[in-house]
Chains A and B, each alone.
Chain A
Amino acid sequence: MAALHEFLTSLFGAATPTIWIVLQIVAIVLPLMAVVAYLTYAERKIIGFMQVRIGPDRVGYWGLLQPIADALKLLVKEIIIPTGADKALFLLAPILSIVPALAAWAVIPFSDTLILADVNAGLLYAMAVSSLGVYGIILAGWASNSKYAFLGSMRSAAQLISYEVAMGMALITVLMVSNSLNLADIVRAQGEGIFASHGVSFFSWNWLPLLPMFVVYLVSGVAETNRAPFDMAEGESEIVAGFHVEYSGMAFAIFFLAEYANMILVSALTATLFLGGWLSPVSFLPDGLFWLLAKISALLFFFLWIRATFPRYRYDQVMRLGWKVFIPLCLVWIVVVGCWMMSPWNIWK
């Protein structure tokens, strides 16, 4: 690393810090894009097996080249812009939805030292950036000038606002117990505690003491990413494809990428905030990036699993779940955790 840094200094001089950051961003975004592509493959394969069928197996061995074939196909397809559409906003919308999904990765700690921007307001940044994604969806629905798209974007606006609140509330308890908004510090704080000192930090992670909040966060995460059973913004059998019904070619592909990048992002945030990030569950195994990846994969599998299992909620039922169940539950749990921390049984000292 140091040698590479010196080499860059000799090459670019004063511009080195910028170049260095760009290189780091590329090192995050490129693998992320590959993972997104193969997440679509994994989804098709996993759901395929759950549905007693095979999934893609024609392009390459076991269909491994399928995502690439899909990407190529979408690249060469025409991007149709409807006559009544607002052209500039129509094209801006997919960009607006993918940028936050990628930008939020800046603060995700991959390991103790591997982190692009170790900022103290990391959690706030992640929340702020990820909630920007909804603008892409609203704009897409509005700019398409289509009734189905309009309904989809209205649904998703309402849904995202409600679940943003529940998610934020769930995170308040996390930052209460870890005394920090820095994501790396939140992970480190999970490595301490009674169980961790006995060698099983698995039980010291936030998921156990904050179990209701973990569930709320995870479910809100599914809702936030517009995945089944909360996929009313897309609602295939009701409003056809919702907000992206008028999109084709690469513009559609970017929405698709954004959805999957968001899934990975929410999984990564859940892993970081509740499942101890890069920490190893037991003390005799080393910590490291692969633990984070394993946790993200497990969460992604969960996302796919529920998609294959559950029917879709109705719009008003999703709202009811958000406002009448999750938010009150979060409020109560914030008070409970507050009292717990003030009591002699505080486990987070």
Chain B
Amino acid sequence: MAELRNFTLNFGPQHPAAHGVLRLVLELDGEVVVRADPHIGLLHRATEKLAEHRTWLQSVPYMDRLDYVSMMCNEHAYCMAIEKLLGIEPPLRARYIRTMFDEITRILNHLLSLGTHALDVGAMTMVLYTFREREDLLDAYEAVSGARMHAAYYRPGGVYRDLPDRMPQYRQSKWKDAATVDALNAARQGSLLDYLEDFTNRFPTCLDEYETLLTDNRIWKQRLVGIGVVSPERARALGFSGPMLRGSGVEWDLRKKQPYAAYDRVDFDIPVGSEGDSYDRYLVRMAEMRQSTRIVRQCIDWLRANPGPVMTDNAKVAPPSREAMKSNMEELIHHFKLFTEGMHVPQGEAYAAVEHPKGEFGIYLVSDGANKPYRLKIRAPGFVHLSAMDEMARGHMIADVVTIIGSQDIVFGEIDR
């Protein structure tokens, strides 16, 4: 009898479901996966090495480009690590703004994750619906930072500037008549906070719509329930975090366990799953979006009532005001030093982690007291999740591999770094 060999399939790096540049070497027995071997590194940009040659502030935009769907959360971890070394605490208003934008980022990330997950499973309409809502949130990003994706809004010591009082407006053009423009601008008449409040009013209905399309859909359930099951013990042992861990039923969330920013001042719940399969992870993400909306709401109310500074007044970290610089020698020197060689961070090492939409995103910094880090190490949650690919996919079919990739919510910017 002829010798039977398994069928080896090179899944990616150019593949519609590879979420970027994942290369999976799949060993197949018919359609059943015998071994899944993820190969990474195709999007490696040496962020950690680059950071060693940039000043502390110049590396903030690199953080945006790590997990390029949850930009501000990456910045947050980086800024927190620097603040830890500097021993400073940003003003409360800055912490609230960070909390609010972390949650906006979480919604952005989960919307993309939901849309692409559904697209992977074959429900292509979902991704266009979620992008409709993402568009509104990206406008909020643009309003505070000027950039839709790579914001570079958080700074060590606070945030770049206070929230804008008015939103940019759509203008009439060949493609948009007066009525369309009015409809688009209806929510943009007030400040950014008014705009976001309007969004938080609308968004739960949108979530209900997504749930109508997916949650009880028989095909969706058949494709997700029981796929890629991870027990709570294994999830812990594998180093999972974020929705991947909570989907397995472990109640672990850095926002509650070691609160940072203003998370100890807002009220929210941690949704957890019970089975640890792809469907539970999907439900956890849906529930997290509802919780994020709740947090954004509370931040809006607080930020409305409490104006104040958004940047630390420590002149060794943040540049002084223009006015002070023009009239005061000391401030002029600070300005000169900050804009030529940048801030200096005291010698030492620090690890700061945030509850990133994908899990625990950590930055480990070593400083030798210079104006740039001696060493920067990024702890990317997606890397850990992807390394469990083999365990999760074994025994499932090719179509399930795609479901698992979707439910792991992989983004290569952070995995390859």
Binding site for B on A (CB under 8 A): 47, 50-53, 147-148, 151, 155, 228-229, 231-232, 235-240, 308-317
The answer to whether A51 and B125 touch across the interface, beta carbons within 8 angstroms, is: yes
6 more A-B contacts (CB under 8 A) besides A229-B219, A239-B398? A147-B9, A148-B9, A155-B31, A309-B123, A312-B399, A314-B399
Residues of the A chain whose Cβ atoms lie less than 8 Å from the Cβ of B119: 237
Given contacts A151-B31, A237-B16, A237-B120, contact A314 B128 (CB under 8 A): no
Shortest Cβ distance from B266 into chain A, in angstroms? 32
Q: Does B397 contact A (CB under 8 A)?
A: yes
- State whether A311 touches B118 (Cβ < 8 A): yes
B64 at the A interface (CB under 8 A)? no
Residues of chain B with a CB closer than 8 A to A236's CB? 16, 122
Query: Quick check: A151 and B398 within 8 Å, CB to CB?
Result: yes
User: A53-B128, A147-B9, A229-B219 in contact; A235/B118 too (CB < 8 A)?
Assistant: no
Chain B 380-417 against A: per-residue CB contact (8 Å), 1 yes, 0 no? 00000000000000000111111000000000000000
Least CB distance, B11 to chain A, in whole angstroms: 9
A232 CA to B123 CA, complexed, in Å:
13
Chain B residues with CB under 8 A of A315: 31, 397, 399
Report whether A314 and B124 are in contact in the complex, using a CB–CB cutoff of 8 Å.
Answer: no
A312 and B125 contacting across the interface, CB-CB below 8 Å: no
Taking a contact as CB atoms under 8 Å apart, the answer to whether B124 and A308 are in contact is: yes
The 5 closest A-B pairs by CB, nearest first: A312-B122, A311-B123, A51-B128, A237-B17, A311-B121
Complex CA–CA separation, A228 to B217 (angstroms): 15
Chain B 131-165, CB within 8 Å of chain A: the 1/0 string?
Answer: 01000000000000000000000000000000000
With A51-B125, A51-B128, A52-B132 known to touch, is A313 a contact of B120 (CB < 8 Å)?
no
Between B125, B213, B222, B401, the greatest number of chain A beta carbons within 10 A of the residue's beta carbon is seen for: B125
B68 in the interface (beta carbon within 8 A): no
A312-B121, A315-B31, A317-B222 known; A238 vs B398 contact (CB < 8 Å)? yes
Residues of chain A lying within 8 A (CB to CB) of residue B10: 147
Cβ contacts under 8 Å, A148 to chain B: 9
- Residues in chain A near residue B121, CB distance under 8 A: 237, 311-312
B129 contacts the other chain (CB 8 A) = yes
Q: In the complex the two chains form, what is the Cα distance from A27 to B108 in whole Å?
A: 54
The verdict on B268 contacting chain A, using a C-beta distance below 8 Å, is no
Asked whether B222 lies within 8 Å of A314 as measured between CB atoms, the reply is: yes
Chain A residues with CB below 8 A from B397, complex form: 314-316
Chain A residues lying within 8 Å of B219, measured Cβ to Cβ, are 229, 310-313
Q: Contact mask B279-295 → A, CB, 8 Å, 1/0? A: 00000000000000000
Q: Are B222 and A313 within 8 A (Cβ)?
A: yes
Contact of A309 among B31, B213, B222, B399 (CB under 8 A): B213
Q: What is the minimal beta-carbon distance from A22 to any residue of chain B, in angstroms?
A: 42
Considering the complex, give the chain B residue whose CB is closest to the CB of A314.
B399
Whether a CB of chain A sits under 8 angstroms from the CB of B84 is: no
A23 to B124, CA, bound (A): 42
Contact of B220 with A by CB under 8 A = yes
Closest residue on chain A to residue B401 by CB atoms: A238
Is B15 among interface residues, defined by CB-CB distance under 8 A?
yes
Q: Tell me how far the C-beta of B176 lies from the nearest C-beta in chain A, rounded to whole angstroms.
A: 12
A122–B149 Cα gap in the complex (Å)? 60
Is B7 among interface residues, defined by CB-CB distance under 8 A? Answer: yes
A-B contact pairs, 14 of them (CB 8 A): A51-B124, A147-B10, A232-B399, A237-B16, A237-B120, A310-B123, A311-B121, A312-B122, A312-B123, A313-B122, A314-B222, A316-B31, A317-B222, A317-B223
| Shortest CB distance A324–B (Å) | 13
Please indicate the chain B residues that have their CB under 8 angstroms from the CB of A53 in the complex.
Answer: 128
Contact: A237 with B125, CB < 8 Å? no
For the complex formed, measure the closest distance between the CB of A148 and the CB atoms of chain B, giving whole angstroms.
8
**Looking across the interface, which residue of chain B has its beta carbon closest to that of A317?**
B222
B123: chain A residues at CB < 8 Å are: 309-312
Alpha-carbon distance between A231 and B129 when the two chains are bound, in angstroms: 22
Instruction: Give the chain B neighbours of A240 by CB distance below 8 A.
Output: 15-16
CB pair A238–B222 under 8 Å, yes or no, is: no
Q: Which of B122, B213, B214 is A229 in contact with, Cβ under 8 Å?
A: B122
B399 closest partner in A (C-beta):
A314
CA distance A47 to B125 in the complex (A): 8
Q: Are A52 and B399 in touch, CB under 8 angstroms?
A: no
* Given known contacts A50-B125, A238-B399, A310 and B217 CB-to-CB distance under 8 angstroms: yes
- A151-B31, A235-B399 known; A311 and B223 CB under 8 Å? yes
The chain B residue sitting closest to A235, CB to CB, is B399
Smallest beta-carbon distance B332→chain A, Å:
54
Minimum CB–CB distance for A37 against chain B, Å: 22
CA distance A256 to B79 in the complex (A): 53
Write the nearest CB–CB distance from B16 to chain A, whole angstroms: 5
Q: Which residues of B have CB within 8 Å of A151?
A: 9, 31, 398
Q: How far is the CA of A147 from the CA of B11 in the complex (A)?
A: 10
Inside 8 A of A155's CB, which chain B residues have their CB?
A: 31
Q: Are B124 and A238 in contact (CB under 8 A)?
A: no
Nearest residue, chain A, Cβ from B227: A314
In the complex the two chains form, what is the Cα distance from A231 to B124 in whole Å? Answer: 13
Q: Contacting B223 at CB < 8 Å: which of A50, A147, A239, A314?
A: A314
Contact across chains for A237 and B402 when beta carbons are under 8 A apart: yes
Chain B residues contacting A312 (CB-CB under 8 Å) are 121-123, 219, 223, 399
Q: How far is the CB of B241 from chain A (nearest CB, A)?
A: 26
Q: Please give, as numbers and ranges, the residues of chain B lying within 8 Å of A239 by CB-CB distance.
A: 398
A347 to B398 Cα, complex, angstroms: 49
- The smallest beta-carbon distance between A232 and chain B, in angstroms, is 7
For residue B7, which residues in chain A have a CB less than 8 angstroms away from its CB? 147
Distance A149 CA – B180 CA, assembled complex (angstroms): 46
The answer to whether B125 and A309 have CB atoms under 8 Å apart is yes
Check if B222 sits within 8 Å of A51, measured CB to CB: no
Known: A229-B219, A313-B222. A237 touches B122 (CB 8 A): yes
Q: Which residue of chain B lies nearest to A313 when distances are taken between CB atoms in the complex?
A: B219
- In the assembled complex, the Cα of A308 lies from the Cα of B128 at a distance in Å of 11
Give A171 to B217 CA distance when docked, in angstroms: 29
How many angstroms from the CA of A52 to the CA of B130 in the assembled complex?
Answer: 11
Shortest Cβ distance from residue A162 to the other chain B in the assembled complex, whole angstroms: 15
Given the complex of chains A and B, what is the CA–CA distance between A167 and B124 in angstroms? Answer: 28
Q: Are B122 and A51 in contact (CB under 8 A)?
A: no
Given contacts A147-B9, A237-B402, A315-B31, contact A310 B128 (CB under 8 A): no
In the bound complex, what is the Cα–Cα distance between A151 and B32 (angstroms)? 12
Q: Cβ of A317: which chain B residues have Cβ within 8 Å of it?
A: 222-223
In Å, the complex CA distance between A53 and B7 comes to 41
In the complex, what distance in Å separates the CA atom of A311 from the CA atom of B397?
A: 16
How far does the Cβ of B168 sit from chain A's closest Cβ, in whole Å? 22
